[in-house]
Amino acid sequence: MEGQSVFPSGFCAFKDSDFLDACKELDNPQIEGWEFFTSSHGVTIYRMYNEIYGVLDDVNPEVCAEVYMDLEYRKTWDTYAKELNETEADGKKVIYWNVNFPWPMWNRDYVYARTLREMDYNGNKVWVVLARSENVPSIPEKSGVIRVDDYLQSCVLTTDGKVGSKAYMRYYDNPKGAIPTWLINWGAKTGVPEFLSIMQKACRGYPEYQSKKQSQSS
């Protein structure tokens, strides 16, 4: 197994073994004891954390990884992202993310470290993205926004052997407060499939976005 970090910095919140463990889940997801919840866009969702495993049949894994990491592009297609930026704070490279929640709930925000690593695993090229909340005192909580300080995510992408991507994602956060059951169910059954559909569209449009961006900068 070989791997290299992309967008490196002096601070890394993850060990080499964290990336390897994520790769193993791609081939053999550990879902024993988890509850099947729904399936959409060729993606199966299990409930305990939020775990997604499936195939995106028309999205190249390298493009999908680039879209996943490109914060400026995400601002153009993700309507839930009120604020999203990368910054250096307290000796760490972190991302600040303010997420729109439906009225009358308060928005949630996150301060987290994220690393993309390109790896060779079992003869296949694999893109692994790990993210985890970080304590950064110099980015204080905002009035009217609830800070999510318990957040963990892993996303693994590789080819499906054709033109698409085989993908695995595990996501957990503690949003705090009293989240209505209807909102949790909506998020899993409707919100996640809707997000996947929007992201697929964003992946298809990414080459055009990059081309326009290069034209504007030249």
pLDDT digits (tens, 9 = 90+) for 27-57: 766 666 556 655 655 565 555 556 666 677 7
pLDDT tens digit sequence for 149-203: 999 998 999 998 888 888 888 888 888 877 777 776 766 666 667 777 888 899 9
| Average pLDDT, integer, range 133-143 | 95
What pLDDT does 189 receive? Answer: 65
Query: How many angstroms from the chain centroid is the CA of residue 120?
Result: 21
What pLDDT does 161 receive? Answer: 85
Q: Which long-range contacts (CB under 8 A, 24 or more apart) does 33-39 make?
A: 37/188, 37/189, 38/188, 38/189, 38/192, 38/193
What does pLDDT average to over the chain? 82
Domains in the chain, number: 1
Q: Where on the phi/psi map is residue 201: left (φ > 0), alpha (ψ -120 to 50), or beta?
A: alpha
Residue ranges making up the domain that contains 109: 2-217
> End-to-end CA distance of the chain, in Å?
39
CATH number at residue 31: 3.30.530.20
pLDDT tens digit sequence for 50-76: 666 667 778 889 999 999 999 999 999
